[in-house]
A and B are shown apart, each in its own frame.
Chain A
Amino acid sequence: MKAAIAAGRWQRSRWLPGLLYRPAGSWALRPRARALKGALALALLGLFWLSLLAGELWLSSGQAWRALAGGSSADDAMLAFLVIEVRLPRALAALLVGASLGLAGLLLQTLARNRLASPDVIGVHDGAVLALGAGLWFSGEALLGPWWQALAGALLTLALVLLCAGGVGRQGQRVLVVGLALAALARAGFELLLATVELTHSSALYSFSMGSLLASSYSQLGPISLALAAVLLLLLPWLPGLALLQLGESQAQLLGLNVGRHRAVLLVLAATLAGLAVSVAGPIGFVALLAPLLARRWLGPLPLLGASLSGAGLTLLADLLGRLLLAPVELPAGVLSSLLGGPLLLWLLLRPDAADAADAADAED
């Protein structure tokens, strides 16, 4: 029902750019949603600032501010290096990666009409990791391939999953288990890769495959931020269609939507986002699954901004906790996210109402 209302609103305001769109009318949801979004953004800002301060060497807010502003003393120069060269790129990477993952998850979940269909569950992450590592087979120069390899891997894996499952939304949860199988296949390929390269390479590749923001640098951020902006721009004209697709294929078709084309474009965009995120930070699981779920719970049926914000927040949180929990040792963000995300997924699967809702959605198809 909520979806139907949202879709109706979308139709009326087709000309509005999607992200600027605000629901018209006096729905009780609206002021609360706006306040929640504001709170989310504030929390994100707080986390961001905290991740500049926290670490083995705790800074005070004043110190960090002076470092960012460029103080004059020698001590300030050292702090400036720490904040600007080490912690700032890392926090920015967490933001960008998390936002991409959240958005990718939202797109996939909406298209598959299944709240568990996220790029990490259906194997897009593993495909991208395999593609990045496979460069080592062909040329021994760099450990990991360039970012476009991850992109290609993600797109290819998604295409394969859809091909094997016979469509994204029609077969209930089939796409999930097919994705699970293909993820295992990609991981097997990666294991074979690990077994056949030099030991130092395989150790480094293994660390990468756990998903970490440790090695983030400004040079990595260029491609992903440009691509993220491009994807967001490309996404705008397709958003009204996405809202209609929530109603189910036949409904959307009845309302005059070119379902096939919409679906293809949106899937490509989702895989692009996920692949880019993997190219920067490795496979950070469960963010793409949970961020849209959380956002949808509180912010209405198609929370684009909310999913991006909460994805960024979750990633920052995972990175921050990984830095602090075992203080001198750093836990990779990917480890922490699966530590927190695994039980959450289990809880989601076992909750009776979740099962009912998902199965009802399957039965509708």
Chain B
Amino acid sequence: MNRGLAGAGLLVLLIGAALLFGPGRVAPAALWSGADEHARMVLLQLRLPRLLAALSVGAALGLAGALMQLLTRNPLAEPGLLGVNSGATLAIAVGLSLQGSLGAPGLLAWALGGALLGTLGVLALARRSRGSRAALSPLRLLLAGLALAATARGLMAFLLLMDQQGLDQFRFWLQASLARVTPQQLGLGMVPLLLGLALGLGAARPLSLLLLDDELAAGLGARPGRLRLLAVLAVGLLAGGAVAWVGPIAFLGFAAPYLARSLGWREPLPQLWASAGLGALCLLGADVLGRWLTAPFEAPLSALMALLGAPLLVLALRRDASLGLRR
């Protein structure tokens, strides 16, 4: 329980830091008195929405990663690496090229559709291999994700190259950032994420049966097909919602469950919860750090998460002999 408390303490510290630091000085004392109108504005209009977005997107991506790892029984699975994020971005590019411009609801709808299709595709790839001789080992699945991402990138460029302005906008959007979070969109952005979180965490106990063989799970009274559908739906909501709101972020969905496992939350149920919590912690930390490190600029979150997650991936490969890397 100590590690849980430590995590909660760290989270509280980070929340404080996220509210207090950043461009534009906010003195805590001025807030108590309520006299400083400027400070109130900065806090309520800029920093609080950003904080909420960081927490919910982080939790969403952490949980999405853990769910995908359950779903594919692959400890390296992750929405960013396996092409779910690429599916969502590609869908948005398609929507942009069909409709010209997208409002927030349109963006969300296209992204959710793309993410759902992407998750189904990944699941098909992972399951096609299981049982047959042509086993798509964890690494092969990852490479398949690489191929999907490259294809999607090519298609996006193909779609968007027609108008340079659209491409430029899209390029900025591809660099995930929390700076684009506005208080007006807070509600719309949160809805799919909270829905997905509720779905994933609420059904965590039955979902953890996905780790078992289908016959075994059925013997325990579960319906594996429905469970899988539920998990796909949750991952689609979580990943699609995150992509639509702040842009594609890779590696967090791998890093959070990995950290959870190495901190000792190994059982599926606590692992799901811990992944969500650690995801929120990591993303908030990266946001605070990014604001501070590249002070006048906004560091793209996707880059920061890759800086955190890629070394962890290398570490995982070096340490875990159980990844099926050597056959």
Query: B137 near A346 (CB under 8 angstroms)?
Result: no
Is B327 an interface position by the 8 A CB rule? yes
Is B317 an interface position by the 8 A CB rule? yes
Which residues on A sit within 8 Å (CB–CB) of B317?
165, 174, 177-178, 181
Given contacts A178-B317, A195-B297, A341-B150, contact A356 B306 (CB under 8 A): no
The 8 closest A-B pairs by CB, nearest first: A342-B151, A339-B154, A188-B306, A352-B134, A188-B303, A191-B303, A345-B147, A342-B150
Which residues on A sit within 8 Å (CB–CB) of B303?
187-189, 191-192, 195
Beyond contacts A189-B307, A359-B327: 4 other A-B pairs, Cβ-Cβ < 8 A, are A188-B303, A286-B150, A342-B151, A359-B137
Convert B111-136 into 0s and 1s, putting 1 for each residue whose CB lies closer than 8 angstroms to a CB of A: 00000000000000100100011111
Contact among A177, A196, A337 with B294 in the assembled complex (CB-CB below 8 Å) = A196
Count residues of chain A with CB under 8 A from any CB of chain B.
54
Which residues on B sit within 8 Å (CB–CB) of A331?
157-158, 161
Is B220 an interface position by the 8 A CB rule? no
Is B148 an interface position by the 8 A CB rule? yes
Of all chain B residues, the one with the shortest Cβ separation from A362 is B327
Query: A195 near B139 (CB under 8 angstroms)?
Result: no
Given contacts A326-B162, A345-B150, contact A164 B139 (CB under 8 A): no
Give complex CA distance A196, B250 in Å.
21
Count residues of chain B with CB under 8 A from any CB of chain A.
54
Query: B307 near A188 (CB under 8 angstroms)?
Result: yes
Which residues on A sit within 8 Å (CB–CB) of B161?
326, 329, 331, 335
Query: B154 near A342 (CB under 8 angstroms)?
Result: yes
CB of A190, distance to nearest CB on chain B (Å): 8
Which residues on B sit within 8 Å (CB–CB) of A172?
139, 325-327
Complex A-B: 12 CB contacts under 8 Å: A166-B318, A172-B326, A181-B311, A181-B314, A188-B302, A192-B300, A210-B157, A326-B161, A338-B150, A338-B154, A339-B158, A349-B136
Which residues on B sit within 8 Å (CB–CB) of A337?
154
Of all chain B residues, the one with the shortest Cβ separation from A341 is B150
Which of B's residues lie within 8 Å of A, judged by CB?
76, 81, 125, 128, 132-137, 139-140, 142-144, 146-155, 157-158, 161-162, 168, 171, 175, 250-251, 294, 297-300, 302-304, 306-307, 309-311, 313-314, 317-318, 325-327
Of all chain A residues, the one with the shortest Cβ separation from B151 is A342
Convert A343-365 into 0s and 1s, putting 1 for each residue whose CB lies closer than 8 angstroms to a CB of B: 10110011110011001001100
Give complex CA distance A363, B137 in Å.
13
CB of B65, distance to nearest CB on chain A (Å): 15
Query: B148 near A346 (CB under 8 angstroms)?
Result: yes
Which residues on B sit within 8 Å (CB–CB) of A339?
151, 154-155, 158
Which residues on B sit within 8 Å (CB–CB) of A346?
144, 147-148, 151
Give complex CA distance A121, B311 in Å.
17
Query: B134 near A196 (CB under 8 angstroms)?
Result: no
Residues of A279-298 at the interface with B, using a CB-CB cut-off of 8 Å, are 285-286
Given contacts A191-B303, A195-B303, contact A177 B142 (CB under 8 A): yes
CB of A323, distance to nearest CB on chain B (Å): 13
CB of B135, distance to nearest CB on chain A (Å): 7
Query: A188 near B157 (CB under 8 angstroms)?
Result: no
Interface majority SS (helix, strand, loop, mixed), chain A: helix
Query: A188 near B304 (CB under 8 angstroms)?
Result: yes
Which residues on B sit within 8 Å (CB–CB) of A178?
313-314, 317
Is A16 an interface position by the 8 A CB rule? no
Which residues on B sit within 8 Å (CB–CB) of A174?
139, 317, 325-326
Convert A197-225 into 0s and 1s, putting 1 for each residue whose CB lies closer than 8 angstroms to a CB of B: 00000010010001000000000000000
Give complex CA distance A171, B152 in Å.
30
Query: A356 near B143 (CB under 8 angstroms)?
Result: no
Give complex CA distance A165, B315 in Å.
10
Give complex CA distance A331, B158 in Å.
7
Of all chain A residues, the one with the shortest Cβ separation from B171 is A206
Query: A335 near B148 (CB under 8 angstroms)?
Result: no
Convert A210-247 into 0s and 1s, putting 1 for each residue whose CB lies closer than 8 angstroms to a CB of B: 10000000000000000000000000000000000000
Query: A336 near B154 (CB under 8 angstroms)?
Result: yes
CB of B93, distance to nearest CB on chain A (Å): 13
Give complex CA distance A119, B81 in Å.
19
Which residues on B sit within 8 Å (CB–CB) of A335?
153-154, 157-158, 161
Which residues on A sit within 8 Å (CB–CB) of B297?
195-196
Of all chain A residues, the one with the shortest Cβ separation from B326 is A172
Which residues on A sit within 8 Å (CB–CB) of B300?
191-192, 194-195
Query: B171 near A352 (CB under 8 angstroms)?
Result: no
Query: B251 near A184 (CB under 8 angstroms)?
Result: yes
Which residues on A sit within 8 Å (CB–CB) of B168?
203
Which residues on A sit within 8 Å (CB–CB) of B133?
352, 355-356
Which of B146, B151, B171, B251 lies at the interface centre, i.e. has the most chain A CB atoms within 10 A of its CB?
B146
Give complex CA distance A359, B325 in Å.
10
Which residues on B sit within 8 Å (CB–CB) of A187?
303, 306
Query: B136 near A350 (CB under 8 angstroms)?
Result: yes
Give complex CA distance A181, B143 in Å.
11
Given contacts A342-B148, A343-B147, contact A355 B136 (CB under 8 A): yes
Query: B294 near A164 (CB under 8 angstroms)?
Result: no
Is A107 an interface position by the 8 A CB rule? no
Query: B132 near A352 (CB under 8 angstroms)?
Result: yes
